[in-house]
């Protein structure tokens, strides 16, 4: 892993955006893995800014989002499809048919998971996957558990996750109880991964991600097994490269 620490979130957003833009410049038909939540909003704004300056085009880019709530209408402002349209897709020249978000309203969610993985594998693999991290160490919506799933699948959200995400809704009752998420295999299949972690309150879970044991109880710790992970953060953490 490579750890980049930033003094402020504005610099972090710019660096993260530049990394994604460099991937697209060197490979115009790149496949990008997208994330939602509060963390990526600023870096999406930086990408849009650069696009509007005419410095990058997304015409040939394909995107796959990590996850989506189950049972939330796509038109709901907090569906991840709405989030992506509002924060990124509506402002750049990406072809709508090249943007993929799992369908959380599919009649057959298991079938939707299979279809989604198939669509990813048809593209070869994701060139750069963006990740945030949940306070409990989840990535996508892969919640801590005794076992984790490889493929895109339906999950029951932990109460702590629903609590954390209720800030986007009027009340906890409106936060969906289930989601569909890319599995750990789908995520780790990406050629490179950018993990963005903002806010000192996430320093402890980031430390466990970087330096703790590799455990399904901290899904993000499985990133230690991936050969190309870049971590960008404003947290005060260190990455221990040896036993001492």
Ligand X SMILES: N[C@@H]1[C@@H](O)[C@H](O)[C@@H](COP(=O)(O)O)O[C@@H]1O
**Interface with ligand X by CB under 6 A: which residues?**
35-39, 66-67, 132-134, 140-141, 161, 165
Nearer to ligand X by Cβ, of 28 and 73: the residue is 73
**Does the annotation count 67 as an active-site position?**
yes
Residue of 76, 105, 136, 178 marked catalytic: 136
Residue of 68, 87, 127, 138 marked catalytic: 138
Rounded to a whole number of angstroms, the minimum distance from the CB of residue 28 to ligand X is: 26
> Cα(first)–Cα(last) distance of the chain, in Å?
18
- 120-132 burial, b for 16+ CB within 10 Å, e for fewer? beeeeebbbbbbb
**Does the annotation count 4 as an active-site position?**
no
Nearer to ligand X by Cβ, of 57 and 224: the residue is 224
**Does the annotation count 118 as an active-site position?**
no
Question: 65, 101 in Cβ contact below 8 A?
Answer: yes
**Does the annotation count 143 as an active-site position?**
yes
Would you call 115 helix, strand, or coil by DSSP? helix
Nearer to ligand X by Cβ, of 57 and 160: the residue is 160
Rounded to a whole number of angstroms, the minimum distance from the CB of residue 218 to ligand X is: 14
| Rounded Cα–Cα distance for residues 171 and 114 (Å) | 32
Rounded to a whole number of angstroms, the minimum distance from the CB of residue 174 to ligand X is: 15
Nearer to ligand X by Cβ, of 31 and 164: the residue is 164
Tokens of 205: 């879970």
* Closest CB to ligand X: residue number: 132
Would you call 110 helix, strand, or coil by DSSP? helix
| Rounded Cα–Cα distance for residues 244 and 114 (Å) | 44
Rounded to a whole number of angstroms, the minimum distance from the CB of residue 132 to ligand X is: 3
Residue of 46, 67, 68, 117 marked catalytic: 67
Beta-carbon contacts of residue 209 (< 8 Å; ≥ 6 apart): 133, 137, 195, 218, 220, 221, 223, 224
Residues recognised as catalytic: 67, 136, 138, 143
């Amino acid at each position: 892993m490579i750890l980049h620490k930033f003094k402020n979130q504005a610099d972090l957003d710019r660096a993260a955006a530049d990394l994604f833009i460099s991937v697209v410049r060197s490979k115009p038909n790149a496949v990008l893995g997208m994330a939602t939540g509060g963390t990526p909003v600023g870096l999406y704004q930086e990408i849009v800014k650069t696009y509007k300056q005419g410095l990058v085009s997304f015409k040939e880019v394909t995107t796959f989002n990590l996850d989506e709530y189950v049972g939330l209408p796509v038109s709901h402002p907090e569906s991840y499809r709405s989030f992506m349209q509002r924060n990124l897709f509506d402002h750049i020249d990406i072809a709508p048919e090249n943007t993929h978000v799992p369908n959380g309203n599919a009649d057959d969610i298991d079938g939707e998971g299979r279809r989604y993985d198939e669509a990813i594998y048809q593209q070869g693999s994701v060139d750069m996957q963006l990740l945030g991290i949940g306070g409990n160490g989840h990535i996508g919506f892969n919640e801590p558990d005794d076992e984790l799933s490889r493929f895109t699948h339906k999950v029951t959200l932990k109460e702590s996750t629903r609590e954390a995400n209720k800030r986007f809704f009027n009340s906890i009752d409106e936060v969906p109880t289930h989601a569909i998420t890319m599995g750990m295999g789908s995520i780790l299949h990406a050629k490179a991964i950018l993990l963005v972690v903002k806010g000192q309150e996430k320093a402890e879970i980031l430390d466990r991600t970087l330096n703790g044991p590799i455990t399904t109880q901290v899904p993000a710790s499985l990133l230690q097994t991936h050969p190309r992970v870049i971590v960008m953060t404003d947290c005060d953490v260190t990455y221990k490269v040896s036993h001492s």
